[in-house]
Structure 1
Amino acid sequence: MAIIKPFKGIRPVSELASKIAALPYDVMNSDEAREMVADNPYSFLHVDRAEVDLDPSIDVHDKRVYEKARENLDRMIKDGEYIQDKRPCLYIYRQIMNGRAQTGIVFCASIDDYMNNIIKKHEFTRADKEEDRINHVDYCDANTGPIFLTYKEDQIASEIIEAWIENESKRKPIYNFVAEDGISHIVWIIDNEIIINELIDLFKEVDYLYIADGHHRSASAVKVGLKRRKENPDYTGDEEFNYFLAVAFPDNDLMVMDYNRVVKDLNGLTRDQLIEKLEEKFTVTESTSKEPVKPAKKHTFGMYLENKWYVLEAKDGTYNAEDPIDSLDVAILQNNVLTPILGIEDVRTSDRIDFIGGIRGLKELERRVNKDMKVAFSMYPTEVRDIMSVADIGEVMPPKSTWFEPKLRSGLFVHQLK
Structure 2
Amino acid sequence: MPNIIPFKAVKPTRAIVGLVAARPYQSYTLDERESRMAYNPFSFLHIVNPGYKYDQEVTGKERYRMVQNRYLEFKEDGIFVQDENPSFYVYKIVNRHGHEFNGIIAAASAEDYEKDLIKKHEDTIAQREETFKSYLQTVGFNAEPVLLTYPDNAVIAAIIKDTQKGYAEFEFTMTYRDTHYLWKVEDPKTIGIIQEEFKKMKTVYIADGHHRSASSYLLYNDEKAKNPKHQGNESYNYFMSYLIPESELVIQEFNRLVKDLNGFTKEEFLIQLDTTFRIENRGIMPYQPKEAHHFSMYLDGEFYSLFLRKTAYEFHTALDALDAQILYITILQPLLGIDDLRHNDRISYVNGQHEMVTIKSSVDSGAFKVGFGLCPSNVHQMKQIADEGLTMPPKSTYILPKLRSGITIYEY
Q: Same fold (TM over 0.5)?
A: yes
**Which AA in structure 2 matches 1:21?**
A
1:88 paired to 2:83 = no
2:391 equivalent among 392, 396, 406: 396
Match of 1:210 in 2: 205
Q: Which residues of 2 match residues 123-142 of structure 1 at below 5 A?
A: 123-142=122-141
Residues in 2 aligned to 1:237 and 1:165: alpha-carbon distance in whole angstroms: 29
Which digits, 9 at most, give the CA deviation of each residue in 1:227-281, with x for residues without a partner? 2222221121111111110011111111111101000011111222211111111
Aligned match of 2:267: 272
Q: Deviations over 1:331-390 (max 9, x none)?
A: 110111111111212212211111111223322212211220011001111212211111
TM-score, length basis structure 1: 0.94
Give ranges in structure 2 of 5+ residues lacking alignment.
Answer: none
Query: Residue 12 of structure 1 contacts residue 411 of structure 1 at CA under 8 Å; is this kept in 2?
Result: yes
1:296 aligns with 2:295: no
Structure 2 residue 328 is matched with structure 1 residue 334: yes
CA distance in 2, matches of 1:83, 1:136: 22
- Please give the secondary structure, in 1, of the residue aligned with 2:160: helix
The DSSP-based 3-state class of the residue aligned with 2:195 is helix
Give the paired residue count: 410
The structure-2 alpha-carbon separation of the partners of 1:26 and 1:206, relative to structure 1 and needing over 3 Å to count, comes to farther
Q: Secondary structure at the residue paired with 1:244?
A: strand
> Aligned equivalents of 1:31 and 1:127: distance in 2?
30
Question: Deviation digits for residues 311-332 of structure 1, max 9, x if unmatched?
Answer: 1111103433342111100011
Q: Are the equivalent residues in 1 in contact too, given 2:363–2:369 (CA < 8 A)?
A: yes
Name the SS of the counterpart of 1:38 in structure 2.
Answer: helix
1:305 aligns with 2:285: no
| Structure 2 Cα separation of the partners of residues 81 and 402 of structure 1 | 35
**2:232 corresponds to 1:228:** no
Matched, 1:187 2:182: yes
Matched, 1:13 2:7: no
CA RMSD of aligned residues (A): 1.7
- Does the 8 Å CA contact 1:143/1:415 hold for their aligned counterparts? yes
TM-score w.r.t. structure 2 length? 0.95
The yes-or-no answer on 1:69 pairing with 2:64 is no
More moved, 393-402 vs 38-47: 38-47
Question: Following the alignment from structure 1 to structure 2, what is the Cα–Cα distance between the partners of residues 99 and 131?
Answer: 37
> Residues 31 and 209 (structure 1 numbering): CA distance in 2 closer, same or farther, change over 3 Å?
farther
Residues 1:383 and 1:206: Cα distance change in structure 2 (over 3 Å):
same
The alignment-based identity, stated in percent, is 34
| 1:212–1:49 distance in 2 versus 1, CA, 3 Å | farther
Matches of 2:109 and 2:209 in 1, distance apart? 15
Structure 1 counterpart of 2:374: 379
- 1-structure distance, mates of 2:167, 2:360: 45
| Aligned-partner SS, 2:149 | strand
Name the SS for the 1:359 alignment partner: coil
**Tell me, which stretches of 5 or more residues in structure 1 are unaligned?**
none
Contact 1:54/1:65, CA 8 A, preserved across alignment: no
Q: 1:264 to 1:76 in 2, by over 3 A?
A: same
Bigger mean CA deviation after superposition, 127-136 or 35-44: 35-44
- The structural deviation recorded for 1:29 is 6.4
Distance of 1:31 and 1:325 partners within structure 2: 40
Counterpart Cα distance in 1 of 2:288 and 2:51: 39
Contact 1:30 1:52 in 2 (8 A): no
- Secondary structure at 2:116 match in 1: coil
- Secondary structure (helix, strand or coil) at the match of 1:69 reads helix
What SS does the aligned partner of 1:42 have? Answer: coil
> Residue 223 and residue 263 in structure 1: after superposition, are their counterparts in 2 closer, same or farther (change >3 A)?
same
